[in-house]
Amino acid sequence: MKKTLKIASWNVNGLRAVYKKGELDNFLESCDPDVLLLQETKASAAQLPAELTTDERYLKFYHAADKAGYAGTAIWVKSKNFAEVEFLTGMPGYTDSEGRVAQLKLPGLRIFGVYFPNGGKSEEAWQGKLTFYEIFLAYVNELRLAGERVIFAGDVNCCHEEIDIARPKENDGQIGFHPEERRRLSAWVADGWVDVWRRTYPDKADVYSWWSFRAGARRRNVGWRIDYFFVDQEAFPKVLHIDYLGEQMGSDHCPVLMETAL
């Protein structure tokens, strides 16, 4: 097993689209992650071209939604680096029909790539989002209590603090920056899960991971930091590097890249 691990997380907002644009290949060439966590793939493995399912470099696992063209997650892992690899889906107490929770189990380490619900479609969807946060926290806490080392990353669909959003006053109380969902993220932190970027750069502003397609938001950097890496408090000292790759095009989200010692 490698002594360090480079993990990337990216909401691609349609894997086929970002591949056709050539941006997925550009990203892999420039960043060369050991593990790639993808969200909003919007396709099952059967719907994808062979180049996205068969690869000498990566084992590729897809967890698609029941509804075609919606949500979905995937994990790619460099096969040569790990002798034991297991892929899992979902979490106890949650029916994962939208392909939101993908897991990679390595010796001594479990990595989650998660596409958290947006919650904006209805009151039921909103309550479901809040419940999802709580169920997920209970699950990773349970794994940690059982002695597992856990890393989780993905599109959390919430800006935690005012520094994480370009226009906090205008968006206060809106989905994605609502006090109730922000409190759920605070509960993660209170339970010893570290937002790696914010712990590393507590005062660094104007760093975001999602920009609306409207009104040149990305060009003007009017964004939201809704994509994260979290590690346990005891594992944080092992983190070597984290970065938001805002120059990477192809999606309305940018990738997040973290490197950690093992």
Buried b (16+ CB within 10 A) or exposed e, 159-195: bbeebbbbeeeebeeebbbbeebbebbeebeeeebbb
Q: At what angle do helices 123-145 and 179-190 cross, to 10 degrees?
A: 0
Q: What is the residue-averaged pLDDT of the chain? A: 96
Q: Which residues are catalytic?
A: 155
Whether domain 4-261 has CATH 3.60.10.10: yes
Which pLDDT score, from 0 to 100, does residue 56 have? 86
| DSSP assignment of 52-71 | GT--SSEEEEEE--SSTTS-
Mean pLDDT of 221-240: 98
Whether the per-residue pLDDT at 1 is higher than 60: the answer is: no
The model's pTM is: 0.97
> If pLDDT is split at 50, 70 and 90, which confidence band does 29 have?
very high
Mean pLDDT of 231-242: 97
Length reported for the chain: 262
- Domain range summary for the chain, segments of one domain joined by +: 4-261
Which pLDDT score, from 0 to 100, does residue 205 have? 98
Which one has a higher pLDDT value, 55 or 111? Answer: 111
Give the DSSP letter of residue 48.
S
Mean pLDDT of 150-157: 98
Mean pLDDT of 7-13: 98
- Give, in degrees to the nearest 5, the angle at Cα 209 between 49 and 89: 50
Which pLDDT score, from 0 to 100, does residue 71 have? 98
What gap in Å lies between CA 101 and CA 79, rounded to an integer? 21
Name which of 72, 61, 64, 87 is nearest 39 in CA terms. 72
For the stretch 160-194, pLDDT in tens is 999 999 999 999 999 999 999 999 999 999 999 99
**Pairing status of strand 35-39 against strand 73-78:** antiparallel
Q: Where are the alpha helices (DSSP H) in the chain?
A: 15-20, 23-31, 123-145, 168-171, 179-190, 196-200
Whether the per-residue pLDDT at 85 is higher than 70: the answer is: yes
Whether the per-residue pLDDT at 96 is higher than 60: the answer is: yes
Mean pLDDT of 44-54: 94
Whether the per-residue pLDDT at 139 is higher than 80: the answer is: yes
